[in-house]
Structure 1
Amino acid sequence: MLMKSIAAGLAGTALLATVAFAQNPTATTDKAAPAATATTTTTTASGEWRASKMSGLKVYNEANENIGSINDLLMDKNGAIKIAVIGVGGFLGMGEHLVAVPYEKLKFVNEAVAYTGASTNPNAKPATTTTTGAATGTDRPAATTTSSSSKWYPDHAVFNASKDELKAMPEFKYSE
Protein backbone atom coordinates (compact mmCIF):
# COMPACT_ATOMS: atom_id res chain seq x y z
CA MET A 1 0.00 0.00 0.00
CA LEU A 2 2.85 2.36 0.84
CA MET A 3 4.56 1.65 -2.48
CA LYS A 4 1.36 2.52 -4.40
CA SER A 5 1.11 5.87 -2.57
CA ILE A 6 4.74 6.69 -3.29
CA ALA A 7 4.36 5.71 -6.95
CA ALA A 8 1.20 7.81 -7.29
CA GLY A 9 2.92 10.78 -5.63
CA LEU A 10 5.93 10.53 -7.96
CA ALA A 11 3.70 10.22 -11.03
CA GLY A 12 1.68 13.30 -9.98
CA THR A 13 4.84 15.29 -9.34
CA ALA A 14 6.23 14.32 -12.74
CA LEU A 15 3.01 15.42 -14.45
CA LEU A 16 3.00 18.78 -12.67
CA ALA A 17 6.68 19.34 -13.42
CA THR A 18 6.20 18.70 -17.15
CA VAL A 19 3.28 21.14 -17.30
CA ALA A 20 5.31 23.80 -15.50
CA PHE A 21 8.35 23.12 -17.69
CA ALA A 22 6.24 23.37 -20.84
CA GLN A 23 5.13 26.88 -19.87
CA ASN A 24 8.68 28.25 -19.81
CA PRO A 25 9.89 29.44 -23.25
CA THR A 26 12.99 27.57 -24.38
CA ALA A 27 13.80 29.48 -27.56
CA THR A 28 15.89 32.62 -27.26
CA THR A 29 16.05 35.41 -29.78
CA ASP A 30 19.00 37.62 -30.54
CA LYS A 31 16.80 40.55 -31.48
CA ALA A 32 16.57 43.45 -29.09
CA ALA A 33 13.21 44.12 -27.52
CA PRO A 34 11.34 46.99 -29.17
CA ALA A 35 11.42 50.24 -27.24
CA ALA A 36 8.25 51.10 -25.38
CA THR A 37 6.39 53.80 -27.24
CA ALA A 38 3.71 54.55 -24.63
CA THR A 39 4.67 56.13 -21.37
CA THR A 40 3.24 54.60 -18.24
CA THR A 41 1.85 56.96 -15.67
CA THR A 42 0.66 56.01 -12.24
CA THR A 43 -1.94 57.94 -10.36
CA THR A 44 -1.64 58.11 -6.61
CA ALA A 45 -4.53 58.84 -4.33
CA SER A 46 -2.66 59.63 -1.16
CA GLY A 47 -5.02 60.63 1.62
CA GLU A 48 -8.17 59.55 -0.23
CA TRP A 49 -10.75 57.08 1.09
CA ARG A 50 -12.44 54.24 -0.77
CA ALA A 51 -16.21 54.70 -0.86
CA SER A 52 -16.71 50.92 -0.75
CA LYS A 53 -15.06 50.85 2.69
CA MET A 54 -17.31 53.57 4.12
CA SER A 55 -20.38 51.33 4.23
CA GLY A 56 -20.59 49.79 7.69
CA LEU A 57 -18.29 52.41 9.26
CA LYS A 58 -19.25 52.90 12.91
CA VAL A 59 -20.63 56.29 13.97
CA TYR A 60 -20.03 57.62 17.47
CA ASN A 61 -21.20 60.77 19.23
CA GLU A 62 -18.90 63.21 21.01
CA ALA A 63 -19.19 61.15 24.22
CA ASN A 64 -17.67 58.15 22.35
CA GLU A 65 -20.98 56.24 22.43
CA ASN A 66 -21.70 54.04 19.40
CA ILE A 67 -24.86 55.46 17.83
CA GLY A 68 -25.01 53.51 14.56
CA SER A 69 -23.19 52.84 11.32
CA ILE A 70 -23.08 54.27 7.82
CA ASN A 71 -25.33 52.25 5.50
CA ASP A 72 -25.01 54.34 2.35
CA LEU A 73 -23.64 57.55 0.89
CA LEU A 74 -25.77 59.58 -1.52
CA MET A 75 -24.21 62.00 -3.98
CA ASP A 76 -25.38 64.60 -6.42
CA LYS A 77 -25.00 64.38 -10.21
CA ASN A 78 -21.55 66.00 -9.99
CA GLY A 79 -20.26 63.22 -7.73
CA ALA A 80 -20.13 65.23 -4.50
CA ILE A 81 -21.37 63.26 -1.47
CA LYS A 82 -24.31 65.10 0.06
CA ILE A 83 -26.04 62.67 2.44
CA ALA A 84 -24.94 59.85 4.71
CA VAL A 85 -27.60 57.25 5.53
CA ILE A 86 -27.01 55.99 9.07
CA GLY A 87 -28.58 52.83 10.48
CA VAL A 88 -29.59 53.15 14.14
CA GLY A 89 -30.61 50.34 16.45
CA GLY A 90 -31.82 46.96 15.32
CA PHE A 91 -30.08 43.63 15.44
CA LEU A 92 -28.40 42.05 12.42
CA GLY A 93 -30.21 44.46 10.12
CA MET A 94 -33.65 43.70 11.56
CA GLY A 95 -35.56 46.64 13.02
CA GLU A 96 -32.88 49.12 12.01
CA HIS A 97 -34.01 52.75 11.73
CA LEU A 98 -32.41 54.56 8.76
CA VAL A 99 -31.86 58.32 8.96
CA ALA A 100 -30.35 60.73 6.44
CA VAL A 101 -27.86 63.26 7.78
CA PRO A 102 -25.94 65.92 5.87
CA TYR A 103 -22.51 64.55 4.99
CA GLU A 104 -20.74 67.74 6.05
CA LYS A 105 -22.04 67.24 9.61
CA LEU A 106 -19.97 64.05 9.97
CA LYS A 107 -16.41 64.27 11.24
CA PHE A 108 -14.03 61.44 10.32
CA VAL A 109 -11.31 60.19 12.66
CA ASN A 110 -8.41 57.83 11.88
CA GLU A 111 -7.59 56.94 15.49
CA ALA A 112 -9.56 54.30 17.36
CA VAL A 113 -12.08 55.35 19.98
CA ALA A 114 -10.54 55.46 23.47
CA TYR A 115 -12.34 53.24 25.95
CA THR A 116 -13.52 55.30 28.92
CA GLY A 117 -15.72 52.78 30.74
CA ALA A 118 -15.14 51.42 34.22
CA SER A 119 -12.99 48.34 34.55
CA THR A 120 -14.17 45.20 36.33
CA ASN A 121 -10.64 44.72 37.69
CA PRO A 122 -10.41 46.42 41.12
CA ASN A 123 -6.61 46.77 40.80
CA ALA A 124 -6.79 48.50 37.42
CA LYS A 125 -5.76 52.12 37.08
CA PRO A 126 -8.63 54.56 36.50
CA ALA A 127 -9.38 55.19 32.87
CA THR A 128 -8.51 58.54 31.42
CA THR A 129 -11.31 60.33 29.68
CA THR A 130 -10.18 61.27 26.22
CA THR A 131 -12.58 62.08 23.47
CA THR A 132 -10.74 60.95 20.38
CA GLY A 133 -13.65 61.68 18.09
CA ALA A 134 -14.50 65.18 19.26
CA ALA A 135 -15.90 67.39 16.55
CA THR A 136 -13.69 70.16 15.28
CA GLY A 137 -16.47 72.71 14.98
CA THR A 138 -15.95 73.20 11.25
CA ASP A 139 -18.52 72.60 8.56
CA ARG A 140 -16.31 70.12 6.67
CA PRO A 141 -14.88 66.80 7.88
CA ALA A 142 -11.68 67.16 9.86
CA ALA A 143 -8.49 66.97 7.83
CA THR A 144 -6.49 63.88 8.57
CA THR A 145 -3.00 62.84 7.73
CA THR A 146 -2.44 59.47 6.20
CA SER A 147 0.73 57.57 5.54
CA SER A 148 1.61 55.24 2.73
CA SER A 149 0.43 52.38 4.95
CA SER A 150 -3.09 53.89 5.12
CA LYS A 151 -5.96 51.46 5.23
CA TRP A 152 -7.93 53.63 2.76
CA TYR A 153 -10.75 54.45 5.16
CA PRO A 154 -11.15 56.23 8.52
CA ASP A 155 -11.58 54.35 11.78
CA HIS A 156 -14.96 55.89 12.56
CA ALA A 157 -17.21 58.89 12.08
CA VAL A 158 -18.49 61.33 14.70
CA PHE A 159 -21.98 62.87 14.62
CA ASN A 160 -23.21 65.26 17.31
CA ALA A 161 -26.37 63.43 18.43
CA SER A 162 -27.43 60.69 20.81
CA LYS A 163 -28.87 57.38 19.68
CA ASP A 164 -32.32 58.45 20.91
CA GLU A 165 -32.12 61.71 18.93
CA LEU A 166 -31.28 59.76 15.76
CA LYS A 167 -34.15 57.33 16.36
CA ALA A 168 -36.50 60.31 16.75
CA MET A 169 -35.50 61.69 13.32
CA PRO A 170 -37.76 60.91 10.34
CA GLU A 171 -37.01 57.54 8.82
CA PHE A 172 -35.18 57.62 5.49
CA LYS A 173 -36.76 55.59 2.68
CA TYR A 174 -35.38 55.03 -0.79
CA SER A 175 -37.88 56.30 -3.34
CA GLU A 176 -38.91 53.89 -6.07
Structure 2
Amino acid sequence: MIGIVSYGFYVPKYRIKTDEIATVWGKNPEDVKKSLLIEEKAVAGIDEDSLTMAFESSSSALSDVQIDKNKIKVVLFGSETHPYAVNPASTILAEFLGIEKNYLAYDTEFACKAATGAIISAQALIKSGYSDYALITGSDKGMGKTHDVLEYTAASGSVSLLLGKDDLIL
Protein backbone atom coordinates (compact mmCIF):
# COMPACT_ATOMS: atom_id res chain seq x y z
CA MET A 1 0.00 0.00 0.00
CA ILE A 2 1.19 3.52 -0.76
CA GLY A 3 0.49 6.25 1.74
CA ILE A 4 1.84 9.12 3.78
CA VAL A 5 5.15 8.47 5.53
CA SER A 6 5.47 11.98 6.93
CA TYR A 7 4.05 15.46 6.54
CA GLY A 8 4.94 19.03 7.35
CA PHE A 9 3.16 22.33 7.17
CA TYR A 10 3.92 26.01 7.40
CA VAL A 11 1.57 28.90 8.10
CA PRO A 12 3.02 32.42 8.11
CA LYS A 13 2.90 34.26 11.42
CA TYR A 14 1.23 37.38 10.05
CA ARG A 15 -2.56 37.76 10.08
CA ILE A 16 -5.11 40.21 8.78
CA LYS A 17 -8.57 40.41 10.29
CA THR A 18 -11.68 40.26 8.14
CA ASP A 19 -12.79 43.44 9.93
CA GLU A 20 -9.77 45.35 8.58
CA ILE A 21 -10.40 44.39 4.96
CA ALA A 22 -14.14 45.09 5.17
CA THR A 23 -13.65 48.46 6.85
CA VAL A 24 -11.18 49.65 4.19
CA TRP A 25 -13.74 48.90 1.47
CA GLY A 26 -16.71 50.39 3.32
CA LYS A 27 -18.36 47.03 4.00
CA ASN A 28 -20.05 46.04 7.23
CA PRO A 29 -17.49 43.76 8.94
CA GLU A 30 -20.16 41.80 10.81
CA ASP A 31 -22.06 41.04 7.60
CA VAL A 32 -18.88 39.84 5.88
CA LYS A 33 -17.87 37.62 8.83
CA LYS A 34 -21.37 36.19 9.12
CA SER A 35 -21.46 35.41 5.41
CA LEU A 36 -17.97 33.92 5.07
CA LEU A 37 -17.48 32.55 8.61
CA ILE A 38 -13.89 33.81 8.53
CA GLU A 39 -12.31 35.94 11.27
CA GLU A 40 -8.79 36.29 9.86
CA LYS A 41 -6.36 34.87 7.33
CA ALA A 42 -2.64 34.12 7.24
CA VAL A 43 -0.56 36.57 5.22
CA ALA A 44 2.94 35.86 3.95
CA GLY A 45 5.72 38.17 5.04
CA ILE A 46 7.41 40.49 2.57
CA ASP A 47 10.31 38.03 2.29
CA GLU A 48 8.09 34.95 1.83
CA ASP A 49 6.73 33.36 -1.34
CA SER A 50 5.34 29.94 -2.22
CA LEU A 51 8.87 28.53 -2.54
CA THR A 52 10.18 29.75 0.82
CA MET A 53 7.04 28.43 2.51
CA ALA A 54 7.46 25.12 0.64
CA PHE A 55 10.97 24.85 2.02
CA GLU A 56 9.63 25.26 5.55
CA SER A 57 6.93 22.60 5.20
CA SER A 58 9.21 20.17 3.33
CA SER A 59 12.00 20.57 5.87
CA SER A 60 9.51 19.76 8.60
CA ALA A 61 8.26 16.66 6.76
CA LEU A 62 11.80 15.36 6.20
CA SER A 63 12.95 16.10 9.76
CA ASP A 64 10.41 13.64 11.15
CA VAL A 65 11.81 10.58 9.33
CA GLN A 66 15.12 8.77 9.10
CA ILE A 67 15.45 8.08 5.38
CA ASP A 68 18.19 8.51 2.83
CA LYS A 69 17.17 11.62 0.85
CA ASN A 70 18.68 9.97 -2.24
CA LYS A 71 15.74 7.54 -2.19
CA ILE A 72 13.44 10.46 -2.99
CA LYS A 73 13.32 10.29 -6.78
CA VAL A 74 10.16 12.38 -7.24
CA VAL A 75 9.76 16.02 -6.16
CA LEU A 76 6.52 17.72 -7.21
CA PHE A 77 5.42 21.28 -6.44
CA GLY A 78 1.81 22.41 -6.80
CA SER A 79 0.88 26.08 -6.66
CA GLU A 80 -1.19 28.86 -8.18
CA THR A 81 1.46 31.39 -7.18
CA HIS A 82 4.80 30.16 -8.52
CA PRO A 83 7.63 32.59 -7.73
CA TYR A 84 9.15 32.29 -11.21
CA ALA A 85 7.54 32.24 -14.64
CA VAL A 86 10.13 29.88 -16.12
CA ASN A 87 12.28 28.26 -13.42
CA PRO A 88 10.59 25.23 -11.86
CA ALA A 89 10.17 25.64 -8.12
CA SER A 90 10.40 21.85 -7.66
CA THR A 91 14.05 21.71 -8.72
CA ILE A 92 14.98 24.73 -6.59
CA LEU A 93 13.20 23.16 -3.62
CA ALA A 94 15.00 19.84 -4.08
CA GLU A 95 18.35 21.62 -4.24
CA PHE A 96 17.58 23.62 -1.07
CA LEU A 97 16.67 20.35 0.69
CA GLY A 98 19.90 18.62 -0.37
CA ILE A 99 18.25 15.99 -2.55
CA GLU A 100 20.65 14.57 -5.12
CA LYS A 101 20.10 15.60 -8.73
CA ASN A 102 18.91 12.19 -9.96
CA TYR A 103 15.16 12.75 -9.58
CA LEU A 104 12.02 13.60 -11.52
CA ALA A 105 10.69 17.06 -10.73
CA TYR A 106 7.92 19.19 -12.09
CA ASP A 107 5.52 21.91 -11.07
CA THR A 108 1.75 21.72 -11.36
CA GLU A 109 -0.70 24.60 -11.49
CA PHE A 110 -4.46 24.38 -11.09
CA ALA A 111 -6.81 26.57 -9.08
CA CYS A 112 -7.24 25.14 -5.59
CA LYS A 113 -5.99 21.65 -6.43
CA ALA A 114 -2.50 21.89 -7.89
CA ALA A 115 -1.10 19.42 -5.37
CA THR A 116 -3.93 16.90 -5.82
CA GLY A 117 -2.81 15.94 -9.32
CA ALA A 118 0.77 15.75 -8.07
CA ILE A 119 -0.26 13.27 -5.36
CA ILE A 120 -1.94 11.04 -7.95
CA SER A 121 1.15 11.16 -10.19
CA ALA A 122 3.48 10.45 -7.27
CA GLN A 123 1.41 7.47 -6.17
CA ALA A 124 1.61 5.99 -9.67
CA LEU A 125 5.38 6.56 -9.85
CA ILE A 126 5.93 4.79 -6.53
CA LYS A 127 3.62 1.94 -7.54
CA SER A 128 5.57 1.52 -10.80
CA GLY A 129 8.81 1.07 -8.86
CA TYR A 130 10.30 4.30 -10.19
CA SER A 131 10.90 5.64 -6.68
CA ASP A 132 10.71 4.53 -3.06
CA TYR A 133 9.56 7.96 -1.96
CA ALA A 134 7.96 11.07 -3.43
CA LEU A 135 7.86 14.55 -1.91
CA ILE A 136 4.78 16.55 -2.84
CA THR A 137 4.27 20.14 -1.78
CA GLY A 138 1.27 22.40 -2.18
CA SER A 139 2.13 26.01 -1.42
CA ASP A 140 0.52 29.36 -2.15
CA LYS A 141 0.85 33.02 -1.33
CA GLY A 142 -2.75 34.17 -1.16
CA MET A 143 -3.81 36.80 -3.65
CA GLY A 144 -7.23 38.13 -4.46
CA LYS A 145 -8.33 41.15 -6.43
CA THR A 146 -9.98 44.08 -4.75
CA HIS A 147 -13.61 43.53 -3.69
CA ASP A 148 -13.44 39.82 -4.59
CA VAL A 149 -14.35 37.19 -2.00
CA LEU A 150 -10.80 35.83 -2.38
CA GLU A 151 -9.50 39.02 -0.81
CA TYR A 152 -11.03 37.72 2.42
CA THR A 153 -10.47 33.99 1.97
CA ALA A 154 -7.27 33.31 -0.03
CA ALA A 155 -4.59 32.92 2.63
CA SER A 156 -0.96 31.82 2.54
CA GLY A 157 0.64 28.55 3.61
CA SER A 158 2.25 25.30 2.58
CA VAL A 159 1.90 21.58 3.21
CA SER A 160 4.29 18.80 2.20
CA LEU A 161 3.68 15.06 2.06
CA LEU A 162 6.32 12.38 1.87
CA LEU A 163 4.71 9.38 0.18
CA GLY A 164 6.08 5.85 0.25
CA LYS A 165 5.28 2.19 0.94
CA ASP A 166 6.85 1.62 4.37
CA ASP A 167 6.29 3.05 7.86
CA LEU A 168 3.05 4.76 6.87
CA ILE A 169 1.24 7.09 9.23
CA LEU A 170 -1.80 7.27 6.95
TM-score (norm 2): 0.25
Larger Rg over CA atoms: 1
Q: Which has the higher strand share?
A: 2
Structure scoring higher RCO (CA < 8 A, sep ≥ 6) equals: 2
Q: Which has the higher helix share?
A: 2
TM-score (norm 1): 0.25
